[in-house]
Amino acid sequence: MFYRETGQFKSSYAADMQIFPIRQDRIALWVVLALAFIGIPLLNAFHIWPFGSEYMLRAILIPFLILSLAAIGLNILTGYCGQLSLGSGAFMAIGAYSAYKFATGVHLPFGLFDLSIPPLPMLPSILLGALMSAVVGILFGIPSLRIKGLYLAVATLAAQFFFDWVFIRVKWFTNYNSSGSVSAPDLNFFGFVVNAPIERYLLCLVFVAIFALLAKNLVRGNIGRQWMATRDMDIAAELMGIRPLYAKLSAFAISSFIMGVAGALWAFVYLGAWEPLAFSIDRSFQILFMVIIGGLGSILGSFLGAAFILVLPILLDQVPHALGVPISVETVSLLVFIITGALICWLLIVEPRGFARLWLTGKEKLRLWPYPY
């Protein structure tokens, strides 16, 4: 009744091709953005439940935003271009450690040409770190020209384990810190130091909004269609004149770039101080789960999946406390394992295409509601 496109006429090509062609969608988007950019900071400023507490921002909203960004990155590669990757953690780690190196100054003692870069400001560091991640992504994407599917997944696992090892063993990356852990430099953006949780939240929000818009537009355009053609049937796409080299490697590059940004944010903004373990194989799986549960080939799905995978264990953790059931911490964590696994299986059985598809179905229903047809 309220959600239908009747009467919304398009009089120009641009109007027809806009991201959200239905007015209600646009309104909804603006409402969500307004809530995220203005509403939550206001609620936080006046300490109104549930956004008044620091816990909400620190433990839920900030990781949610950053992991959504990582999920968008993986979704470009796996959801849009069809290249299964289990190396997301590695690409995030590369983004984080490179950004750290750029932010604290790079010094490469190569004898003949002694490369030294002075410490860079925060924003260029993050972007350059992400660029390094993109370069490595292209390198590890090269096998995708020859192999696909699960075989490729194992190839990306090689990236994961190799970089786990590199960041543990090569002390250069951690600035020879004896404990192997790294603490982030000040988050100084153009003279403004981001510190309070709400500022950190807004910083992540800005990054996520920009990259989500970028990703949405990329997948709508020429390159996105090349990715999707490659995903649907790579040989047919090649016969139609799509260069697989270009399509696949660009997907690897852009996906790892976004994951690199997410990694840098995860390390600098969320963790503050981190060890290589923060980007282990578990992280890769977590992000893959988000993408698949949320919906392959959907930007919205990345957010939904991230929310589900992140919030579910937290909720499950709280439920016994709330009900007053005395269960040991260990039992709870095992229960979380079991229930997460069961829910994943259940979701895959009910809707293998993830939350994004449920959302679409819901929208179709809404168009008719409350009439049967």
Q: Does 348 help bind another protein (rule: CB under 8 A)?
A: yes
Nearer Cβ to another protein (30/151):
151
Q: Does 352 help bind another protein (rule: CB under 8 A)?
A: yes
Q: Does 127 help bind another protein (rule: CB under 8 A)?
A: no
Give the whole-angstrom CA distance, residue 241 versus residue 82. 18
Q: Does 14 help bind another protein (rule: CB under 8 A)?
A: no
Give the whole-angstrom CA distance, residue 283 versus residue 75. 15
Contact 130, 258 (CB under 8 A): yes
132 CB-near residues (< 8 Å, 6+ apart)? 94, 95, 98, 260
Structure tokens at 162: 């190799």
Q: Does 345 help bind another protein (rule: CB under 8 A)?
A: yes
* Contacts of another protein in 264-283 (CB under 8 A): 281
Contact 78, 150 (CB under 8 A): no
Nearer Cβ to another protein (260/354):
354
Q: Which of 1, 112, 115, 239 binds another protein (CB under 8 A)?
A: 239
Structure tokens at 201: 């939240």
Q: Does 254 help bind another protein (rule: CB under 8 A)?
A: no
Nearer Cβ to another protein (183/333):
333
Contact 302, 291 (CB under 8 A): yes
In 149-291 the beta strands, taken as DSSP E runs, fall at: 182-183, 188-189, 192-193, 273-274
Q: What are phi and psi of 183, to 5 degrees?
A: -110, 140
Q: Does 342 help bind another protein (rule: CB under 8 A)?
A: yes
Q: Does 233 help bind another protein (rule: CB under 8 A)?
A: yes
Q: Does 172 help bind another protein (rule: CB under 8 A)?
A: no
Q: Does 114 help bind another protein (rule: CB under 8 A)?
A: no
**Cα three-residue angle 95-153-209, rounded to 5 degrees:** 40
Residue with tokens 């800005």: 206
Name the packing angle between helices 299-323 and 281-294 (round to 10°): 110
Contact 263, 96 (CB under 8 A): yes
Contacting range for another protein; rule: CB under 8 A; set: 6-14, 51-59, 64-72, 233-241:
233-241
Contact 297, 313 (CB under 8 A): no
Contact 315, 98 (CB under 8 A): no
Provide, rounded to whole angstroms, the least separation between the CB of residue 44 and another protein. Answer: 34
Q: What are phi and psi of 189, to 5 degrees?
A: -110, 105
Provide, rounded to whole angstroms, the least separation between the CB of residue 175 and another protein. Answer: 17
Q: Does 331 help bind another protein (rule: CB under 8 A)?
A: yes
Mask: binding to another protein, 68-87, rule CB under 8 A, as x and -? ----------------x---
Q: Does 245 help bind another protein (rule: CB under 8 A)?
A: no
Contacting range for another protein; rule: CB under 8 A; set: 47-55, 114-122, 128-136, 333-341:
333-341
Give the whole-angstrom CA distance, residue 121 versus residue 349. 48
Contact 88, 284 (CB under 8 A): yes
Q: Which of 81, 92, 155, 259 binds another protein (CB under 8 A)?
A: 155
Q: Does 139 help bind another protein (rule: CB under 8 A)?
A: no
Give the whole-angstrom CA distance, residue 284 versus residue 333. 20
The three-class DSSP label of residue 116 is strand
Nearer Cβ to another protein (18/177):
177
Q: Which of 37, 172, 285, 359 binds another protein (CB under 8 A)?
A: 285
Contacting range for another protein; rule: CB under 8 A; set: 37-45, 91-99, 167-175, 211-219:
167-175
Provide, rounded to whole angstroms, the least separation between the CB of residue 168 and another protein. Answer: 7
Chain residues in the site for another protein (CB under 8 A): 84, 143, 146-147, 149-151, 154-155, 157-158, 161-162, 164-165, 168-170, 233, 235-236, 239, 281, 285, 288-289, 292, 296, 330-331, 334-338, 340-345, 348-349, 352
